[in-house]
């Protein structure tokens, strides 16, 4: 299996696509100005106590207060509380191992006896804002690396359960025990298996530096009486965070279309896997990067309400407030000569394959209910269940799958930390804005020429790129004496025309040679 990562960087957002055997399996998109990412650490204040929920609401700067449950304070909360009090008193050099042993948090305690309104607290986001809900918080602070997770105010060393070798587990525990400072706990991740001490020690130093920088920011906030909430630690960029969790030395290529992000990704890969740094490549093509690797088409075919798969069968995916519902349909598939039962099994097994991909691709979380085609034989129902379990082994998110119910429904729960990936694949006509009335389409190229004339003769921009729908691009470029050739003879060879699959029919976009969009749309374009 070949794996490739495609990173599309625009002025508004960063999109990341993971391809396995050229097939899209994961897609992430995040605004470049996005805040409240999972992993961010805030020094904040308690705004409201909720004794009935045994929880509180904390102001972290979001429009809705973040939610913190009593049990999410963590067993070592009193150690953190003492540490913050010492920082607030102006203590400069505070070592965690010198805090003294503090009592563990009572699991049966109450929020009103532990916290008070206006109290400072150090919290970390574990779940991003979803719909009408604010972020979900924890006070058990951690710093995640590729091989290790560093946990202040703890002494425990844990090893990933996926490392099965007893000898290797013992080796890793002893190794980490020898290099970790006192007052810190460590979780050893699966990818740390068989890693050398030098690599683990290097990452340990990086994680400790992040903690020290966080403490330095808190000290500065107290010293300068900065207004809270304070962003004490910001998680690495989405690109690097995804690579941290997904990176595999077997990746063949990582393509990036932005110089800055390319340098960032290359430096990170060189840090964690120096032998693989050359797989990071800068894409400089004129065709949009997602179009070049057939990602755009896969997004539009895979992220709609209806998803087709083999032999005409299809899935219908609906999202409600409480859960996701998936309906499996055989469509116009021809019936198997072996009977309805065999046909239903074949459709359901194909649906299980596609559904496992869809869960990763859309990052669907919470409760998922799947209505498979009815099957009467228990062995076939068991085959379907086992197929689904096998397909979900590739999924990094925590999940649970139940066998088919007597109604033919399969229930799946999947960890949800971010809003589901919702891509609107339906296109609104760019020229009428949904009114149903447009200018004569025959005059579209004349309208484009007017804008080209304005760019060249009025603004003095001689070199630029024009992106249009592939159908329109084919018309503009067709023939020896094409429309494009006429424009170049009239306005200069700096006029470049390219196809972009992300644009709707009769939609267009002008860019200068540095990649900056030239806003040429006028109000009368929509009339």
Residue with tokens 């595999």: 248
Main-chain phi, psi angles of 485, to 5 degrees: -65, -40
Examine the domain organization and report whether 349 and 486 are in the same domain: no
Distance CA 33, CA 11 (A): 10
Examine the domain organization and report whether 286 and 192 are in the same domain: no
Number of residues in the chain: 527
Q: How many CA atoms lie within 13 A of 360 on its CB side?
A: 20
Measured over the CA atoms of residue 130, residue 134, residue 135 and residue 140, the dihedral's sign is negative
pLDDT value at position 151?
92
Distances (CA, A) of 498 to 296, 458, 471, 476: 15, 23, 11, 10
Measured over the CA atoms of residue 78, residue 82, residue 88 and residue 93, the dihedral's sign is negative
- How many domains is the chain built from? 4
Examine the domain organization and report whether 310 and 329 are in the same domain: yes
DSSP 246: H
Examine the domain organization and report whether 102 and 248 are in the same domain: no
Residue 431 lies in a domain: no
Task: Pick the closest to residue 355 from 293, 297, 347, 398 (CA basis).
Answer: 347
Q: Which two tokens stand for residue 83?
A: 């540490």
Domain boundary among 186, 215, 233: 233
Q: How many CA atoms lie within 13 A of 74 on its CB side?
A: 21
pLDDT value at position 364?
85
Q: What is the pLDDT of residues 72-108, one digit of tens each?
A: 998 889 888 888 888 877 666 677 777 777 888 888 8
Residue 425 lies in a domain: no
Range of the domain at 106: 41-233
Q: In this structure, what CATH number is given to the domain that contains residue 489?
A: 3.30.2320
Examine the domain organization and report whether 125 and 196 are in the same domain: yes
Domain boundary among 187, 204, 233: 233
Phi and psi based region of residue 514 (left: phi greater than 0; alpha: psi -120 to 50; beta: remaining): alpha
Residue 428 lies in a domain: no
pLDDT value at position 186?
93
102 within 8 A of 76, measured Cβ to Cβ: yes
Examine the domain organization and report whether 91 and 159 are in the same domain: yes
Domain boundary among 248, 270, 297: 297
pLDDT value at position 527?
38
402 within 8 A of 409, measured Cβ to Cβ: no
For every one of its 527 residues, what pLDDT tens digit does the chain have, with 9 covering 90 and above? 678 889 888 877 788 888 888 888 888 877 665 555 778 899 999 999 998 899 999 988 888 889 999 999 988 898 888 888 888 776 666 777 777 778 888 888 899 999 999 899 999 998 877 777 788 899 999 998 888 999 998 888 999 888 888 999 999 999 999 998 888 999 999 888 888 888 888 889 989 998 988 988 888 888 888 888 888 888 766 667 667 766 776 788 889 988 888 888 888 888 777 778 888 899 988 888 998 898 888 888 888 888 888 777 889 998 888 889 999 988 766 565 667 888 888 899 999 999 998 888 888 888 999 999 988 889 999 999 999 999 988 887 888 999 998 888 999 999 876 666 556 556 666 556 666 666 666 678 888 888 888 888 888 888 899 999 999 999 998 888 889 999 998 888 888 899 998 888 888 889 888 878 887 764 344 33
pLDDT value at position 523?
36
Residue 67, beta-bridge partner list: 57, 136
Distances (CA, A) of 455 to 460, 462, 491: 6, 7, 10
DSSP 130: B
80 within 8 A of 104, measured Cβ to Cβ: no
Examine the domain organization and report whether 26 and 156 are in the same domain: no
Residue 422 lies in a domain: no
Neighbours of 78 (CB within 10 A): 19
Examine the domain organization and report whether 123 and 19 are in the same domain: no
Distance CA 472, CA 463 (A): 21
Instruction: Convert 471-499 to b/e letters by CB count within 10 Å (16 or more is b).
Output: ebbebbeeeeeebbeebeeebeeebbbbb
Residue 184, beta-bridge partner list: 152
pLDDT value at position 422?
59
pLDDT > 70: percent of the chain: 88
Helix (H, G, I), strand (E, B) or coil at 177: helix
Helix (H, G, I), strand (E, B) or coil at 50: strand
């Amino acid at each position: 299996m070949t794996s490739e990562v495609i990173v599309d960087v625009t002025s508004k957002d960063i999109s990341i696509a993971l391809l396995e055997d050229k097939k899209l399996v994961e897609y992430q998109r995040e605004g470049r100005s996005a805040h409240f990412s999972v992993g961010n650490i805030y020094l904040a204040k308690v705004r409201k106590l909720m004794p009935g929920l045994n929880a509180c609401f904390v102001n972290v700067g979001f429009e809705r207060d973040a939610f913190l449950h009593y049990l999410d304070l963590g067993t070592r909360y009193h150690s953190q509380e003492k540490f913050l009090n010492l920082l607030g008193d102006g203590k400069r050099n505070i070592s965690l191992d010198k805090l003294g042993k503090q009592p563990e948090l009572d699991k049966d305690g109450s929020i009103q006896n532990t916290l008070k309104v206006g109290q400072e607290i150090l919290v970390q986001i574990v779940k991003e804002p979803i719909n009408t809900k604010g972020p979900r918080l924890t006070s058990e602070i951690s710093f995640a690396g590729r091989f290790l997770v560093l946990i202040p105010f703890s002494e425990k060393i844990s090893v990933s359960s996926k490392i099965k070798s007893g000898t290797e587990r013992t080796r890793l525990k002893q190794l980490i025990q020898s290099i970790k400072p006192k007052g810190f706990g460590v979780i050893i991740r699966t990818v740390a298996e068989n890693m050398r001490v030098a690599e683990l020690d290097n990452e340990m130093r990086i994680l400790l530096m992040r903690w020290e920088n966080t403490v330095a920011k808190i000290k500065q906030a107290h010293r300068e009486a900065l207004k809270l909430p304070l962003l004490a630690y910001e998680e690495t960029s989405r690109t690097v965070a995804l690579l941290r969790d997904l990176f595999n030395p077997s990746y063949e290529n990582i393509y990036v279309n932005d110089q800055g992000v390319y340098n960032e990704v290359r430096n990170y890969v060189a840090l964690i896997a120096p032998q693989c740094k050359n797989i990071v490549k800068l894409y400089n093509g004129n065709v949009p990067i997602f179009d070049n690797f057939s990602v755009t088409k896969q997004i539009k075919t895979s992220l709609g309400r209806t998803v087709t798969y083999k032999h005409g069968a299809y899935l219908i995916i609906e999202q409600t407030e409480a859960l996701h519902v998936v309906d499996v349909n055989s469509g116009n598939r021809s019936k198997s000569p072996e009977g309805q039962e065999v046909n239903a099994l074949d459709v359901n097994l194909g649906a299980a394959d596609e559904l496992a991909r869809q869960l990763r691709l859309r990052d669907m979380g919470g409760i998922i209910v799947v209505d498979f085609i009815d099957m009467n034989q228990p062995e076939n129902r068991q085959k379907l269940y086992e197929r689904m379990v096998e397909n979900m082994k590739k999924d990094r998110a925590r999940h649970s799958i139940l066998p088919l119910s007597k109604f033919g429904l399969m229930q799946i729960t999947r960890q949800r930390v971010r809003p589901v990936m919702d891509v609107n694949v339906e296109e609104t006509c760019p020229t009428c804005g949904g009114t149903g009335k447009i200018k004569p389409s025959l005059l579209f190229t004349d309208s484009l020429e007017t804008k080209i004339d304005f760019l060249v003769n009025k603004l003095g921009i001689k070199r630029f790129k024009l992106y249009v729908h592939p159908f329109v691009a084919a018309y503009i470029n067709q023939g020896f004496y094409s429309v494009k050739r006429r424009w170049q003879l009239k306005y200069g060879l700096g006029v470049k025309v390219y196809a972009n699959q992300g644009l709707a029919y009769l939609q267009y976009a002008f860019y200068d040679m540095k990649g900056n969009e030239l806003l040429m749309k006028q109000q009368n374009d929509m009339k």
